[in-house]
Amino acid sequence: MKIITLLCLILLSPVISAQENTTMKKKENKTEEEWKQTLSPQQYYVLREKGTDRPGDGGYTKHFDKGTYHCAACDAQLFTSGSKYESHCGWPSFDDAIEGSVKYVSDKSNGMIRTEIICTNCDGHLGHIFDDGPADTTGKRYCVNTTSIRFEKSKL
Ligand SMILES: [Zn+2]
């Protein structure tokens, strides 16, 4: 009897967890009001309202220390310093993202057709991706707002 119960539980558990997954909200599912409270006004503007940092050499644009770049909103790892390069576009640029960390969304705002990149974990706006990246690697340019990311120095 016990074995049957156990078997039922084992057989049912994937079903149960699958149901949980569909009803369960994302890991980071703050309301806009909660984001407003946790983020700075500039972070809220860029990450939640899809704003853009002013271009320039400040922030992480000319920052090339070894480490990882995390989402400024939810702390998910997004980029490594190994994929960062100087694109001279005025924003931090990467030729690749950590697998699965970034989602791609078609963006037709401002009269342009672009691909927006957002954090998989919290849907925070990061920037856009373009096809003019380094030809010797991926050919992609992940153009990212300094405000959307936070650098963590490598401990090695
Ligand atoms: Zn995030």
Identify the pLDDT of residue 22: 46
Identify the pLDDT of residue 143: 98
Give the Å distance between the CA of 102 and the centre of ligand 1.
9
Please, which residues have CB within 8 angstroms of residue 76's CB and are 6 or more apart in sequence? 70, 101, 119, 120, 121, 122
- How many domains does the chain divide into? 1
Residue-wise pLDDT tens digits, 96-114: 999 999 999 999 999 999 9
Positions of E strands within the chain: 67-71, 77-80, 84-85, 93-94, 102-107, 114-119, 125-130, 141-144, 149-153
Q: Which one is predicted more confidently, 84 or 4?
A: 84
Q: Which one is predicted more confidently, 18 or 50?
A: 50
122 is catalytic: no
Give the Å distance between the CA of 117 and the centre of ligand 1.
11
pLDDT tier at 25, thresholds 50, 70, 90: very low
Domain enclosing residue 116, as ranges: 53-156
Residue-wise pLDDT tens digits, 70-82: 999 999 999 999 9
CB 149 within 8 A of CB 60: yes
User: Which residues are near ligand 1, the ion (C-beta closer than 5 Å)?
Assistant: 71, 73-74, 76, 119, 121-122, 124
Q: Which one is predicted more confidently, 75 or 10?
A: 75
Note whether residue 33 is domain-resident: no
The CATH number that applies at residue 109 is 2.170.150.20
- Over residues 21-42, the mean pLDDT reads 81
Give the Å distance between the CA of 112 and the centre of ligand 1.
25
Note whether residue 17 is domain-resident: no
